[in-house]
Amino acid sequence: MAQPTSSLPASPDAPAFPPSAIILAGGSGTRLWPLSRTLLPKQLLALSGKNTLLQDTLARTLTLFSAERTWVATNEEHVYEVRGQLRQVDPGLDGRVLAEPVGKNTLPAILLGLDRILGEAGAESAGPTVVGVFPADHMVTDATAWKSCMERGLGLARDGWLVTFGIPPAGPETGYGYIHRGRAVGDGGYTVLGFTEKPGLEAAKAMLRQGGYLWNSGMYLFRADVFLEAVERFVPRLWAWWLARRETPLVEGYGGIPDLSVDYGIVEKMERIAVVEAAFDWDDLGSWEALYRLGTKDRNGCVIQGDVLALDCRDSLLVSRGGKLAATGLRDVIVVQTRDATLVCPLSGVQGVKDLVAALRAQGSSLVQAHVTVRRPWGSYTVLEEGPGYKIKRIEVLPGASLSLQMHHHRSEHWVVIAGTARVQVGEQSFLLAENQSVDIPKTTPHRLANPGKVPAEIIEIQSGPYLEEDDIVRFDDVYGRRVDGGGGTGAAGQAG
């Protein structure tokens, strides 16, 4: 194997640092539409219980890795939502978020985390640093068993193995990758003979009959120097990008690097790989069928969440996150209702949800992008009604928070304060508005909305114009450090406000 030109020592005899963790929270989860959307994907949702999948992943990770050695990589659009969820788990995690300017799959996201981890280790020579990589959108039901498996994997990783974790298959699943297990190695590990990516049904059945195959969980442990050697050897373009960080931050070159998963990029090409067989229940929640399978069923075999009235329904998943869902006579069906969209499909047809989302995206539908209510770092907005040439929103601005200084090319706005106090800037003027007071914002006029009070400020916004999408915004200044352009829109609906 080629030696890394960065002079990272491969010897584990150097002083070891505590293990670090990278949590990958940048996925889109389109198979769980209409709950999971671009601006609020499945890892940020509470799908079963009060915690989101990200929060459950964090709580589990912190049983073995300290908050001071944990990083969360996510999309730029999700940074403030992720930070808020991290604070609820451990206030010390608030500043541990890495923002990807654009999604480039798992390998570049891991390298972003490694850059911070090695920097915290104090030197480029942090070869013995062991790193864990964990997806934020998986369900693990036994954190104690999970920790025990990770501890076994840590020993293998310190010895120079890249360690993955295999799930004993419950059936011939075609939506997962498979790991072919070899001879025993270390404490509870096995060598890896090969990988099979999402086989067909007959191939999956054949692997189960043969035995020695495990589902690939996508969790990894490795030594930083071993991982970087593999990047240098197998992905020279990413290696060059990594080396260039000595002169410029990694994110500055993010747009030009390959879109590459860690599995395809390096893991499936390495020789020294070990798998630890998981002793915990695991599911990647890749479809609505998984939510049905894992959910608590009533006496008719139905999983019901939210405000649902079900008469004579059997073996179905019925979910309402907006309004009353009334169903009768359903069999083996999934119905998921939100305030602005409803999904209906047979349990056997859940893989077609991804095709539905692709069709909506091709139509330019905003239903793929956001829910009716969109959370922003300053608060939230809810679309109450819209039609040709107009849109009505309810805006909530948190105490002390402020929207960006911005303007719009194609719409004018009318604001009415319905609760609290708002500070408004229109052009060069700045003034306070109390309840029942209003102001007009002409198109192309710089404006800003802020809340100087101690309680949330609520505003009704009426937009008028030929184009009312959220990418019609020119941002001049922003207290949250979001991109300012001053000469064109952000091009991202999630950056509105």
Distance CA 137, CA 26 (A): 9
Nearest to 161 by CA among 122, 124, 195, 131: 131
Distance CA 363, CA 386 (A): 18
CA dihedral sign of residues 363, 368, 369, 375:
positive
pLDDT 10s per residue in the chain (497 long)?
Answer: 333 333 333 444 444 568 999 999 988 778 999 999 988 999 999 988 789 999 999 999 999 999 999 999 999 889 989 999 999 999 888 889 999 988 899 999 999 999 999 888 664 444 578 999 999 999 998 999 999 999 999 999 999 999 999 999 988 988 889 999 999 998 889 999 999 988 899 999 999 999 999 999 999 999 999 999 999 999 999 999 999 887 888 888 888 898 999 999 999 999 999 999 998 999 988 899 999 999 999 999 999 999 999 999 999 999 999 899 999 999 999 999 999 999 999 999 998 999 999 999 999 888 998 899 998 999 999 999 999 999 999 999 999 999 999 999 999 999 999 999 999 999 999 999 999 999 999 999 999 999 999 999 999 999 999 999 888 999 999 988 777 875 433 333 345 67
Distance CA 477, CA 473 (A): 12
Instruction: Judge whether 20-283 and 372-492 match in fold.
Output: no
DSSP state of 162: E
Backbone angles phi, psi at 360, to 5 degrees: -65, -40
The tokens of 309 are what? 């009235």
Per-residue model confidence (pLDDT) at position 17: 67
**Count of residues making up the chain:** 497
Q: How would you label 414-430 residue by residue, b for 16+ Cβ within 10 Å and e otherwise?
A: ebbbeebbbbbbbeeee
CB 351 within 8 A of CB 287: yes
What does pTM read for this prediction? 0.86
Q: In the chain, where are the structural domains located?
A: 20-283, 296-358, 372-492
CB 474 within 8 A of CB 457: no
Distance CA 182, CA 201 (A): 23
Distance CA 376, CA 130 (A): 35
CA dihedral sign of residues 395, 396, 398, 400:
positive
Fold of domain 20-283: Spore Coat Polysaccharide Biosynthesis Protein SpsA; Chain A (3.90.550)
DSSP sequence for 449-481: EE--SSS-EEEEEEEESS---TT--EEEE-TT-
Distance CA 13, CA 224 (A): 14
DSSP sequence for 241-265: HHHGGGTS-GGGGGGGS----HHHH
Chain-centroid distance of CA 208 in Å reads 32
DSSP sequence for 17-67: PPPEEEEEE----GGGTTTSBTTB-GGGS-SSSSS-HHHHHHHHHTTTS-G
Q: How many helices (H) and strands (E) does the chain have?
A: 10, 28
Distance CA 264, CA 320 (A): 38
The tokens of 14 are what? 């150097």
Q: Which CATH number fits domain 372-492: 2.30.31.20, 3.40.630.30, 3.40.50.300, 2.60.120.10?
A: 2.60.120.10
Would you state the torsion angle of the CA atoms of residues 103, 361, 331, 198, taken in this order, to the nearest 10 degrees? -40
Per-residue model confidence (pLDDT) at position 436: 95
